[in-house]
């Protein structure tokens, strides 16, 4: 009987072994971020009576460094956002000034959109700053998905009271994310779609953020180009480069 048990255990495929909620989130995060990446994005801010488009380029190195350059429209072109570790700066060439953004501004709107400063520069870590719990599986858009509840650690600099993430079991892509405040009220819902090959990976290329208090408005970010594991160094993410990068 003991030999039979050993044989059965050996024959269980590795993929069948249970994954913890944190392991799943780390795999999702690694797939989307890579060791480093470069992206070209279009952001569309939609309101009931107007629409505005912003195009941008982004670079990141791990979770510690990121740089975003606005390329259009003309009035915002050249503006840049730099994150190094837990610090964030905004370069505004129109007034020749660098503004340091305090942690208290992480929950504020980024460029007038429904995304926050933290959403774009990702000051908080979805892997290390939360306690992850697997909830009941569900189906999103015909895809079987993990449901993972993320509660911030007591000492983490996190802007949300709770985040619920729905992850496609087959491709390990986020399909839906719900953001709650400290009182447990739903603040934003992000819908991820247009899943296709990009940068050598299969990823959602459309991120749609919808505020719960005004469902008639939304902000859409579309990935137009994406490259991973580039030869980026820490000194690329400098105050000087923030002013001259193109």
Q: Where are the beta strands (DSSP E) in the chain?
A: 36-47, 50-61, 65-72, 80-84, 87-92, 97-101, 130-140, 143-152, 162-168, 174-180, 186-198, 201-211, 218-228
Given this model, what pLDDT does residue 12 score?
37
- pLDDT higher at 102 or 190: 190
Domain containing 108 equals 20-244
Residue 5 lies inside a defined structural domain of this protein: no
Residue 14 lies in a domain: no
pLDDT tens digits, 168-206 = 999 999 999 999 999 999 999 999 999 999 999 999 999
Per residue in 220-236, pLDDT (tens digit) is 999 999 999 999 999 99
Under DSSP, the state recorded for 217 is: -
9 in a domain, yes or no?
no
Q: Residue 155: exposed, middle, or buried by beta-carbon count in 10 A (0-12, 13-18, 19+)?
A: exposed
pLDDT tier for residue 10 given thresholds of 50, 70 and 90: very low
Q: What is the pTM of this model?
A: 0.86
Rounded to whole angstroms, the Cα distance separating 209 from 193 reads: 12
As a whole number of angstroms, the distance between CA 161 and CA 171 comes to 28
Q: Is residue 2 part of a domain?
A: no
The average confidence (pLDDT) of the chain is 89
Residue 43 CB-density burial (10 A; 0-12 exposed, 13-18 middle, 19+ buried): buried
62 domain-assigned:
yes
pLDDT (average), residues 30-55:
96
Residue 79: CATH number of its domain: 2.50.20.10
∠ Cα 189 152 125 (to 5°): 80
Q: Check residue 2 and give its pLDDT.
A: 41
Does 4 reside within a domain? no
Domain contains 221: yes
Tell me what pLDDT residue 11 has: 40
Q: Tens digits of per-residue pLDDT, 120-168?
A: 766 568 888 999 999 999 999 999 999 999 999 998 878 889 999 999 9
What pLDDT, on the 0 to 100 scale, is given for residue 6? Answer: 39
* Number of independent structural domains in the chain: 1
User: Mapping DSSP to helix (H, G, I), strand (E, B) and coil, where does residue 73 land?
Assistant: coil
8 in a structural domain: no
Plot region of 113 (φ>0 → left; ψ -120 to 50 → alpha; else → beta): beta
What six digits make up the tokens of 147?
């449901």
- Which pLDDT band, with edges at 50, 70 and 90, does 242 fall under? very high
* Torsion on CA atoms 223, 225, 230, 236, rounded to nearest 10: -70
């Amino acid at each position: 009987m003991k030999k039979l048990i050993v044989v059965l255990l050996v024959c269980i495929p590795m993929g069948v072994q249970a994954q913890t909620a944190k392991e799943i989130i780390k795999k999702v995060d690694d797939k989307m971020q890579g060791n480093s990446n470069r992206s070209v994005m279009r952001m569309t801010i939609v309101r009931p009576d107007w629409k505005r488009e912003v195009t941008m380029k982004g670079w990141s190195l791990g979770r510690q460094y990121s740089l975003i350059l606005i390329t259009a429209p003309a009035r915002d072109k050249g503006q840049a956002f730099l994150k190094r570790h837990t610090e964030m700066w905004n370069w505004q060439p129109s007034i020749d000034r660098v503004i340091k953004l305090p942690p208290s501004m992480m929950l504020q709107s980024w460029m007038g959109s429904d995304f926050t400063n933290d959403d774009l520069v990702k000051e908080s870590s979805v892997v290390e700053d939360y306690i992850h719990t697997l909830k009941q599986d569900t189906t999103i858009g015909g895809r079987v998905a993990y449901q993972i509840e993320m509660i911030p650690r007591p000492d983490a600099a996190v802007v949300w009271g709770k985040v619920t993430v729905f992850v496609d079991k087959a491709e390990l892509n986020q399909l839906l994310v719900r953001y709650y405040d400290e009182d447990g009220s739903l603040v934003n819902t992000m819908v991820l779609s247009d899943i296709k090959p990009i940068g050598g990976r299969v990823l959602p290329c459309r991120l749609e953020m919808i505020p719960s208090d005004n469902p008639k408005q939304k902000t859409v970010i579309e990935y137009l180009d994406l490259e991973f594991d580039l030869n980026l160094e820490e000194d690329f993410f400098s105050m000087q480069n923030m002013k001259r990068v193109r």
